[in-house]
Chain A
Amino acid sequence: MNDFELDRIVKRYGQRTTLDKISLATTEKEFIVVVGPSGCGKSTLLKIIAGLEPADAGRVLIDGRDVTRLEPGDRDIAMVFQSYALYPHMTVAENMGFGLRMAGRPKAEIREAVENAASILQISDYLDMRPKQLSGGQRQRVAIGRAITRSPSVFLFDEPLSNLDAALRTRMRIEIGMLYRRLDATMIYVTHDQVEAMTMATRIVLMNQGGIEQIGVPSELYVNPVNRFVAGFLGSPRMNFMTARVADVDDESFGVSLEGLEGVRVARRPEARLVTGDEITLGLRPEDIRTDGGGEHRLAGQVSLVEEPGRESIAYIDAGAVRASESEDGLGHLTVQADRRTPMRRDDSVTLGFDSDALYVFDAAGNTMTPRRPLDTPSAPNKAES
């Protein structure tokens, strides 16, 4: 039995379709992170799951029960809001016990549940304070505590960490991850932050313009993006894209025609329908570009800017005729992520190198044309962390 299921959810606002037949199912209390650019419909989807917005079509099932027409309070869910949504006139304990009190539970039970949740989140000392007296992180804990108190089968998180500073965010991220393992409940977590998605999710749902682009474990989405959108969305710094044409096609591979880069051939999916002269986009992750002179293909370039955020260096390279479209620096320079022990300075001349294997190819519609890769390639998702 599915413990959580969305069945062809549709939502329209006037003429505009905000959600188009969204389906999703989980069987074993997964941590689903719904991620996507702002305006993609992910928050609306969460509200529909919560019951705060009605769906125009489709069903929501929780533990096999159709809850589509139920009030939020009857769905066995709990929600954590971006703004925390704590009641300023109630103490922490009253905030946390609110749901149970509304359900008319006995006081003793409420107190026990509140204390239990408080101890899990280490906020037992604040129970008699008002939200105004707490810091942002503490408020966030209370908001989570309020959800825990209800012990729902599904937790809904609406960008819960976006109001926190970077250090706190990392910490809360880890805590929510630990909480998930401890509570054994389905979690639906909406965020626009790919780091949160990559680190926390058992599965990621990547949304764009009201539809799902790809569902899968984080490394799958990173290593095998189904299309250019997914490839570009996940990974920081972003994948380099270069516009090129198909030079020739054979059974297993095709040749790429790109000014400034000769003789590149890449493997092709069997179902890929490409003919000579088609416009394609090459994708190359910054960490797959080498600066040590190795690699099958070489490119001469000049460093235009170096960033050194710490663990690695990120360099923007002017590679002459080879220009990146939608590049990070907006100048058509290639982004390269290098070991910081490789010294690079502005205006240095460098030789870039990469392997054909590292290249992704997308057709004009954005679909991936290169074959699926095994997940234990060097392009591991943890590299995407910044």
Chain B
Amino acid sequence: MHSLLHRHRGWLWPTLFLAPGVILFWVVIVASSAESLRISFFQWDGLGDMSWVGVDNYIALFHDPQFYTSLKNNIIWLVLFMAAPPLGLAIALLVNQQLRGLRLVKTLFFMPLVMSQVAVGVVFTWFYDPANGLLALVFRAMNATAPALLSDPQWVTVAVVIAGLWPQVSFCMILFMAGLNNLDDSQIEAARVDGARGFRMLYHVVLPQLRQVNFIAIAITVIGALRSFDMVSVMTGGGPFGSSSVLAYQMYEESIQSYRFGYGAAIAAVLFVIMALFIAWYLYRMLRIERGTA
């Protein structure tokens, strides 16, 4: 297997196997992304002719206050989303029992994940509604006035992120449930014999075994945070006045609503760079772990 091409026919089958996936992925995903980067050097309304403007789009971008708002919001997403793995772990620990009926309970905990983000957005908009929402009802019960979360530029992003966390926590929970199912029982038993229990057991024995799961959960959470779009789109449309916008949404808005495809593509490029840093870290970690276990 070492050097495939030295064999007479060893390379033929693998090449045939790889071809459809690789070709499709390159043509649709990789080439499209590259094409988008190219578009960022043009002024283009998406319909007519494209005209070369060099880095003008980028210069405009760095003078655009909305860009910094979006960037800041992306960072808020990123930071707050980091609550998803521990919360997911907590719920996974809670339901990791083998009792009758818990299968249904687990499925119900998964619900937010399997619901479409559009639906989750609808659900939370409904929940936050300052006059009639459930949140308002709770506040009224305590004789207080509910904050209008979705119209408060200070809190709107946090409110949207909390909605976004709902399915994300579910996702992490599933990963951790899988991880907990795969624990090395003998280690747990050895630790029990050594007198470890509760939190100390979790910290010293369980968590180290969940490192791989942890890594995947964090990776998926970071991607989710940087790719956030549906929630923003459904819940606030980036509002009020752009204060809950994120890069992905601003890009969409500039392209589709303002017909500034070149500018939108420039935002895409920035998002790409941020993502690339993360992807590089991810790949580095992944390959290192792989080499470690190989």
Nearest residue in B to A54 (C-beta to C-beta)?
B2
Q: B residues bordering A, Cβ < 8 Å?
A: 1-3, 6-10
Q: Is A112 an interface residue (CB 8 A)?
A: no
Is A53's CB under 8 angstroms from B8's CB? no
Is A69's CB under 8 angstroms from B8's CB? yes
Tell me the number of A-to-B contacts counted with CB atoms below 8 Å: 12
Nearest residue in B to A69 (C-beta to C-beta)?
B8
* Distance in Å: Cβ of B8 to nearest Cβ of chain A: 7
User: Chain A contact residues (Cβ within 8 angstroms of B): what range?
Assistant: under 10
Is B1's CB under 8 angstroms from A52's CB? yes
* A69 to B10 alpha-carbon distance, docked (Å): 11
> Mostly helix, strand, loop or mixed at chain B's interface?
loop
* A54 to B6 alpha-carbon distance, docked (Å): 9
Nearest residue in A to B6 (C-beta to C-beta)?
A54
Nearest residue in B to A53 (C-beta to C-beta)?
B2
* Distance in Å: Cβ of A49 to nearest Cβ of chain B: 15
B contact residues around A54 at 8 Å (CB): 2-3, 6-7
Within 8 A of B (CB), among A21-59: 52-54
B contact residues around A71 at 8 Å (CB): 7, 9-10
Interface centre among A53, A54, A69, A71 (most CB of B within 10 A): A54
B contact residues around A53 at 8 Å (CB): 1-2
Other than the given A54-B6, A71-B7, 10 more pairs (CB < 8 A) read A52-B1, A53-B1, A53-B2, A54-B2, A54-B3, A54-B7, A69-B7, A69-B8, A71-B9, A71-B10
A contact residues around B9 at 8 Å (CB): 71
Nearest residue in B to A52 (C-beta to C-beta)?
B1
Nearest residue in B to A47 (C-beta to C-beta)?
B1
* Distance in Å: Cβ of A248 to nearest Cβ of chain B: 55
* Distance in Å: Cβ of B213 to nearest Cβ of chain A: 24
Task: Report 12 cross-chain contacts, Cβ distance below 8 Å, ordered by A residue.
Answer: A52-B1, A53-B1, A53-B2, A54-B2, A54-B3, A54-B6, A54-B7, A69-B7, A69-B8, A71-B7, A71-B9, A71-B10
* A155 to B73 alpha-carbon distance, docked (Å): 66
A contact residues around B6 at 8 Å (CB): 54
* Distance in Å: Cβ of A11 to nearest Cβ of chain B: 9
* Distance in Å: Cβ of B18 to nearest Cβ of chain A: 20
> 7 nearest interchain CB pairs?
A54-B2, A54-B6, A54-B3, A53-B2, A69-B8, A53-B1, A52-B1
B contact residues around A69 at 8 Å (CB): 7-8
A contact residues around B8 at 8 Å (CB): 69
* A52 to B3 alpha-carbon distance, docked (Å): 12
